[in-house]
């Protein structure tokens, strides 16, 4: 009986131990489960926080990149605007410079057309130059070309032995004439001047060449009449003087040149002045109204009322 109770007691103890052991693993399992759940939850939270951090970081990076890109775009836009503005200024200055240069170059050629007496630049033909030099063959000394243009008459005269000068209002033509004279080897016996022909005296020259226009010939005739010496000779191209009688004419059409001796036109002017003086003196001595006057160089007929 005692042994039986002992076994029963031992059986109960074993059952208690087994139950305890069973509970313990369960509790252990529950603890591990709880721990694992806690760890998993912590890992989940950590992962979420990490994800949130990466998201926040990525969002910050993206935002920074966006701002940087916008600033870069704004910078490029500002730079492009600056370049365009700079190009605009350069273009405006270039156009203005071209206009100024065009005015400087073309102005002296256009200005003669705006003057009261227009004397435009029209180059002498080879035939005209030849005709001028032919009528000057027996002459020597100083020569002036009034309105010398590109200097071809002056250079041709210098090659023929004259001390030649040219007067021209266009500075570009004067500088070009000087260059041509240097290139032709006659710069030592030529001179070119930028001057208005109406403000220059030609009294020192024994030979005068002029390419004129009809509007200026009468005024130029009076100027040369008063300034030139009686030994001077005038060669006129294209258009003759209105009242002077030429000694001769050489050439045809537009290439014709006329020759005038100062001794002749000065004597003509003197004789005309004497005749006008006589008529004026006679008219002053008349008494009473005159109905009609007629006559010629040798006689005058007066008809009274």
Question: Which of 15 and 275 is assigned the larger pLDDT?
Answer: 15
* 9 assigned to some structural domain: no
User: In this structure, are 167 and 276 located in the same domain?
Assistant: no
| Domain encompassing residue 101 | 49-114
User: In this structure, are 63 and 150 located in the same domain?
Assistant: no
Euclidean distance between CA atoms 249 and 251, whole angstroms: 7
Residues 253-292: pLDDT tens digits? Answer: 999 999 999 999 998 766 665 444 444 444 445 555 655 5
What percent of the chain shows pLDDT beyond 70? 53
User: In this structure, are 250 and 146 located in the same domain?
Assistant: yes
User: In this structure, are 131 and 258 located in the same domain?
Assistant: yes
User: In this structure, are 277 and 213 located in the same domain?
Assistant: no
Q: What is the CA radius of gyration of the chain?
A: 58
Residues 42-83: pLDDT tens digits? Answer: 545 444 544 555 545 555 555 555 545 555 555 565 667 777
User: In this structure, are 255 and 138 located in the same domain?
Assistant: yes
Among the three residues 74, 91, 114, which one is the final residue of a domain in this structure?
114
Among the three residues 81, 114, 147, which one is the final residue of a domain in this structure?
114
Q: Are 207 and 144 in contact (CB under 8 A)?
A: yes
DSSP letters for 214-273: HHHHHHHHHHHHHHS-TT-EEEEESS--SSPPPSEEESSGGG-EEEEEHHHHHHHHHHHH
Q: What is the pLDDT of residue 90?
A: 78
Please give the torsion angle defined by the CA atoms of residues 251, 252, 254 and 259, in that order, rounded to the nearest 10 degrees.
40
Euclidean distance between CA atoms 139 and 63, whole angstroms: 98
Residues 84-135: pLDDT tens digits? Answer: 777 877 777 776 666 555 545 544 545 444 455 556 778 899 999 999 999 9
Among the three residues 89, 114, 139, which one is the final residue of a domain in this structure?
114
Question: The domain spanning residue 202 has which CATH number?
Answer: 3.40.50.150
Domains of the chain: total = 3
User: In this structure, are 216 and 259 located in the same domain?
Assistant: yes
Euclidean distance between CA atoms 154 and 235, whole angstroms: 13
């Amino acid at each position: 009986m005692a042994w039986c109770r002992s076994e029963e007691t031992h059986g109960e103890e074993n059952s208690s131990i087994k139950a305890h052991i069973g509970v313990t693993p369960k509790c252990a399992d529950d603890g591990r489960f709880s721990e694992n759940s806690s760890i998993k939850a912590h890992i989940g939270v950590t992962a979420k926080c990490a994800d949130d951090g990466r998201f926040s970081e990525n969002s910050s990076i993206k935002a920074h990149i966006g701002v940087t890109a916008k600033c870069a775009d704004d910078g490029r836009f500002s730079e492009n605007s600056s370049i365009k503005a700079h190009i605009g200024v350069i273009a405006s200055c270039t156009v203005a410079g071209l206009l100024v240069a065009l005015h400087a170059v073309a102005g002296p050629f256009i200005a003669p057309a705006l003057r009261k007496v227009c004397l435009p630049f029209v180059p002498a033909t080879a035939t005209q130059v030849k005709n001028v030099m032919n009528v000057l063959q027996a002459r020597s000394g100083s020569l002036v070309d009034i309105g010398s243009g590109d200097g071809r008459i002056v250079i041709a005269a210098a090659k023929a032995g004259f001390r030649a000068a040219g007067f021209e209002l266009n500075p570009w033509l004067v500088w070009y004439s000087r260059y041509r004279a240097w290139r032709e080897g006659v710069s030592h016996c030529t001179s070119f001047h930028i001057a208005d022909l109406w403000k220059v005296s030609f009294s020192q020259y024994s030979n005068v060449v002029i390419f004129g226009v009809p509007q200026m010939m009468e005024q130029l005739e009076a100027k040369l009449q008063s300034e030139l010496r009686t030994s001077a000779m005038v060669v006129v191209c294209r258009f003759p003087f209105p009242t002077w009688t030429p000694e001769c004419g050489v050439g045809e059409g537009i290439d014709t040149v006329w020759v005038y001796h100062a001794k002749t036109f000065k004597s003509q002017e003197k004789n005309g002045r004497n005749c006008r003086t006589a008529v004026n003196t006679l008219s002053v001595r008349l008494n009473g109204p005159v109905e009609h006057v007629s006559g010629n160089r040798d006689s005058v007929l007066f008809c009274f009322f």
